[in-house]
Structure 1
Amino acid sequence: MVFSAKVAMRFLKSGKSQTIFIALGIAIGVSVQIFIGLLIQGLQQSLVNKTIGNSSQITVTSMKDDKLIGNWEDIVDKISSEKRIEKISVAADSSGFVRHDGKSEPVLVRGFLPDKADGIYNIKENIIEGEALNGDGQVLIGKEFRDKLELKLGDEIEIVNFEGKKSTLKVKGFYDLKVSSINKSWLIVNLKTSQDIFGFQNKVTGIEMQVADSDVFDTVDITKSVESIINNENLKVEDWQSQNAQLLSGLSGQSMSSIMIQVFVLVSVILGIASVLAITVMQKSKQIGILKAMGVKDRSSSLIFMFQGFFLGILGAIIGVVLGVGLIVMFSKFALNPDGTPVVPIYMNYGFIAFSGLIAVISAVAASLIPARKSSKLNPIEVIRNG
C-alpha cells in the first residue's frame, strides 16, 4: 500500500500541469457546492429569523369561551421542564380603540411581563425614542402608529375596551419591530395594565415560547411534548410550522433546488476525474506493465490510481473550501442593502463545509475506481510488446 501511494505521488508529480487542472476542477466543484449551499442556508436562516425570530414559535391558547388561561404560573412551571424550550413568556391581549385629539384608531393592546417578553421580541433593543416600561399605566407605541396620531413622548391616550370602559395611558416610548403591520397596530403595556383595562383579573390570553435555533424545525415534536406536559383539554398548543405552511413549502423548494445543483456539480466532477484518470492509465500503461512484470500485483496497480484520486480529492477539497468560503464572504461584502447590511447574511455552517470537502474526497476516490479496474486488467507482456 505504501509502495502504491509513492508511485501515485510520482505519477502526479510527473504530470504537474494535468494534476493542477484536475485539482482545480475538483476545487471549482467544491467551491460552487459550498457557495450555493451556504447562500441558500443563509437565505433560509434570514427568512426564518425575519418570520419567527422575534415572535412566538410555540403558543398556548385557551379554547374556553372567554379565551382566558387561569393558573398560568403553574402551567409555565410545567412547560419549563421541557429542556428544548429556551424562552417563555405570557401575554394578555385584546382589541380596543385609541382616542387622541379627536382621532380614533383600532389597536391590539398586548400586555407582557417586560423582561420575559423582551427575550422573545427584543422590545428594549428596538425602542427608537423614549425608554422601556417601568410601571403601570404606561404604553409603548409603534413608529407608524405614532406618525398616524402625531404622538409625542409624555402624551396621554385613551383606550376604550370592548365593553366601553375607558383607561388612560401615558406614552413612555416608541418602538420599531421592523414589521409595519405590528408597528401600526400593537400597543405594548405591562401585564397588569392590560389585565386592568380588559378585566382579565390575573388571567392571560396566551403563553408564548421560543426554542433553540437548532430546534426551530423540530417544533412539531416539541409541541406534542408540551401538550403532554400540560395535559389540559381546554388548552390548545400551536407551533409556527403548522401556521406557516407556505413558508415551509418555499424553504423546502429552496433546499431541493440547492441539492439538485450540488448533485449535478458533483456528477460532472466525478465524470471529469474518471475520464482524466482513464487517459492517465493509457499514458502510464507502459510503466504499469513494467511494474507488473517486476512482480507488482494487480491489486497494487489498482491502488496506484485510487491513491491518485485520493490525493487529488484532498488537494481539490482544500482549495475548494478556501475558494467557497472566500466567495461567500466576498458576496456578503458586495451584495448590500441600502442600509449597508448584507442582502443575505453569512451563515457559516462548518459541518456543511467539512461535509462538502469530505464528499469531494470520496467522489474523487470513487471516480478512480474505473481507471483502477482498467489498470488491473492490463497484460504486462502485451503492454511492453506494443510499447
Structure 2
Amino acid sequence: MHPWLPFEWIAATRFLREGRMQSLLIIVGVGVGVSVIVFMSALLSGLQSNLVRRTLSSQAHVVLLPPEEIARPQRNSGDSGFGPLLQKQAQRLRSIDQWQKLRDRLNRLPEIAAVSPIASGPAFAVRGDANKSVTLLGIEPENYTRVITLGERIVSGKLRLNAGEAVIGIELARDLGAAVGDKLRINSGNGATDTLTITGLFDLGNKGVNARNVYVGLRTAQTLLDLVGGVSSIDLALHDLYGAEDLARRLQAESGLQADSWIKTNAQFFTALSSQKISSNVIRFFVGLSVAFGIASVLVVSVVQRAREIGILRAMGATRGQLLRTFLLQGGIVGLCGSLLGSALAWLFLALWQSLARNPDGTPLFVITVEPALVLIAAAGATAVGILAAFIPARRAAGLDPVVAIRG
C-alpha cells in the first residue's frame, strides 16, 4: 500500500476489490449502457448526415426568388352580391432587380459560404425524334460548385460550360440516346433555340433531377430564356445548414424577395429528423437512468455488507466527510471504468456494422465516424452519473453510528 495515497482512495479501491464480482458486474453493466449510447449516437449521426447530404445533393440551403406577383380584382364588390372576384396573377419568368449588388452584399455576410446566381426556366431538349421537357439552368460553374457539388458528380466527360456547351443528367442522356460529344437542341418557351454540344454527364443521386436538369453557361441561359443580364434566382450555401430557415426569414424581410430554405422545402423530412433526435435523446436518458440505478443499488448493498467495517473506521477516527468521499469515489471509478469498456465495445460494434452494412456494389451503406468528443462526453457523463448515483449510499455510510454499526 502506498503511504502517499489518500485514505479515501485506499478505502474505495479495497472495497471494490473485496467485492470483485459485484464490481465487475456493475462495470460491465455501465459499459454496456455507455456502448449503447455511443453506438446509437454515432449511428444516428452518420445516418442523419447521409440523409441530409443526399437531400441537399441537388438543392441549395437557401434560394432567393423574385416576389410573387399580387392578384388583382377583376370586378368590384358592388357589381354583385358575392364580393370582388380575384384572379391569381400568372407568374412570369422574371429577373431579380439589381442582383449584382445583392450578390456582393450576400458574399459579405459571415453566415454564407457561397453565392451562386442562376438563370433557370422551362425548355425542351430535342435530339432526333426524341423530345423531353427539361429545366434549363444557366450557372457560373466556379460559384455553383461551391453550393452544389456538381463537379464531383460528373460520371462522364467534364464540367465545361463555354458558349454552345451543356452538361446533362444520366437519365436524360438515356432517354435521348445521347452521349458526351453529341449535339442537343434546346428550345425555350419563348421560341428561342440553340444547338449545344454535350460535354459531360452527371449523377446527383436523384432520378428526377438526373432526368430533368440541363446545365449551360449563365449567358447562354440568359439569351435562351430572354433574361439578358438578369438571373431568376440566387442559390446560397451556409456554414450552418440548420440555420437556413432563420437566415431565409431575415433575408426575406430585408430584401423583399421570396426566400425558401431547404428546411421549408423539405418540411416533412426535417420534422422526421427532429423526431428522430428527440427519440434518441429519450432512449439515451433512460439508458443513463438505468445505469445510475444499477450503480446506486450495488453501492447500497455494499454499505449494508460493510456496515461493521464502516463502524470500525469511524471508531478509528475516520470522519463523515472521508466516508462520504470514499463511496463517491467508488461510484466515479465504476463509471469511468465502465465508460472506457463501453467506448471499446461501441467501437467494436461500429466496426462490425460497417463490415456488414454494405451496398450491392460493396461500398459502405453510409459513413460512420466516432468523434473523440463523443467518447469524452460519454466518459465524463458516465463518471458523473456514477458519482451522483453514489451520493445516497455515501450519505448513508457517512451517517452510520459507529457503535450501532459495530454491534451489527
- 1:110 and 2:137 are equivalent in the alignment: yes
Query: Higher helix share goes to which structure?
Result: 1
Instruction: Using structure 1 for the length normalisation, give the TM-score.
Output: 0.94
Q: Partner amino acid for 2:339?
A: A
Q: Partner amino acid for 2:60?
A: S
Taking the aligned partners of 1:199 and 1:66, their CA distance within structure 2 comes to 9
Residue of structure 2 in register with 1:216 after alignment: 241
Taking the aligned partners of 1:348 and 1:74, their CA distance within structure 2 comes to 43
Taking the aligned partners of 1:125 and 1:373, their CA distance within structure 2 comes to 62
Residue of structure 2 in register with 1:129 after alignment: 156
Map Cα deviations across residues 169-210 of structure 1 (whole Å, 9 max, x no partner).
112121111110011011111101111111211100111011
Residue of structure 2 in register with 1:146 after alignment: 173
Map Cα deviations across residues 219-247 of structure 1 (whole Å, 9 max, x no partner).
1222244446xx332x2222111221101
Q: What SS does the corresponding residue of 1:24 show, helix, strand or coil?
A: helix
Q: Name the stretch that deviates more: 320-329 or 170-179.
A: 320-329
Map Cα deviations across residues 283-330 of structure 1 (whole Å, 9 max, x no partner).
211110101111222222222111100111111111212222332232
- 1:298 and 2:323 are equivalent in the alignment: no
Deviation of the 1:16 alpha carbon: 2.5
Taking the aligned partners of 1:375 and 1:131, their CA distance within structure 2 comes to 74
Q: Name the stretch that deviates more: 68-77 or 360-369.
A: 68-77
- 1:232 and 2:227 are equivalent in the alignment: no
Deviation of the 1:66 alpha carbon: 4.1
Taking the aligned partners of 1:210 and 1:101, their CA distance within structure 2 comes to 38
Contact 2:139 2:216 in 1 (8 A): yes
Residues 307 and 152 of structure 1: CA distance in aligned 2, closer, same or farther (over 3 Å): closer
Contact 1:329 1:346 in 2 (8 A): no
Contact 1:61 1:67 in 2 (8 A): no
Residue of structure 1 in register with 2:223 after alignment: 196
Deviation of the 1:53 alpha carbon: 4.4
Taking the aligned partners of 2:348 and 2:111, their CA distance within structure 1 comes to 35
Q: Name the stretch that deviates more: 244-253 or 341-350.
A: 341-350
Deviation of the 1:344 alpha carbon: 3.4
Residue of structure 2 in register with 1:341 after alignment: 363
Map Cα deviations across residues 111-162 of structure 1 (whole Å, 9 max, x no partner).
1001111122222222222222141111111111111111133222221111
Map Cα deviations across residues 347-374 of structure 1 (whole Å, 9 max, x no partner).
4333333222211111111111121122
Q: Name the stretch that deviates more: 42-51 or 11-20.
A: 11-20
Q: What SS does the corresponding residue of 1:366 show, helix, strand or coil?
A: helix
| Equivalent residue for 2:20, pick from 16, 41, 58 | 16
Taking the aligned partners of 2:330 and 2:179, their CA distance within structure 1 comes to 73
Taking the aligned partners of 2:274 and 2:161, their CA distance within structure 1 comes to 43
Contact 2:94 2:227 in 1 (8 A): no
Q: Which runs of 5+ in 1 are unaligned?
A: none
- 1:332 and 2:359 are equivalent in the alignment: no
Aligned residues between the structures = 381
Q: Name the stretch that deviates more: 124-133 or 178-187.
A: 124-133
Contact 1:90 1:113 in 2 (8 A): yes
Q: Which runs of 5+ in 2 are unaligned?
A: 70-91
Q: What SS does the corresponding residue of 1:121 show, helix, strand or coil?
A: coil
Q: Name the stretch that deviates more: 269-278 or 148-157.
A: 148-157
Q: What SS does the corresponding residue of 2:123 show, helix, strand or coil?
A: strand
Percent of aligned pairs with the same amino acid: 29
Taking the aligned partners of 2:176 and 2:11, their CA distance within structure 1 comes to 81
| Equivalent residue for 1:251, pick from 273, 278, 289 | 273
Taking the aligned partners of 1:252 and 1:217, their CA distance within structure 2 comes to 11
Contact 2:183 2:196 in 1 (8 A): yes
Deviation of the 1:90 alpha carbon: 1.1
Contact 2:116 2:236 in 1 (8 A): yes
Deviation of the 1:45 alpha carbon: 1.0
Contact 2:57 2:205 in 1 (8 A): no
Instruction: Using structure 2 for the length normalisation, give the TM-score.
Output: 0.89
Taking the aligned partners of 2:342 and 2:48, their CA distance within structure 1 comes to 23
Deviation of the 1:54 alpha carbon: 4.6
Taking the aligned partners of 1:385 and 1:7, their CA distance within structure 2 comes to 21
- 1:27 and 2:31 are equivalent in the alignment: yes
Residues 227 and 2 of structure 1: CA distance in aligned 2, closer, same or farther (over 3 Å): farther
Bigger relative contact order, structure 1 or 2 (CA pairs below 8 A, ≥6 apart): 1
Residue of structure 2 in register with 1:373 after alignment: 395
Q: Partner amino acid for 2:338?
A: G
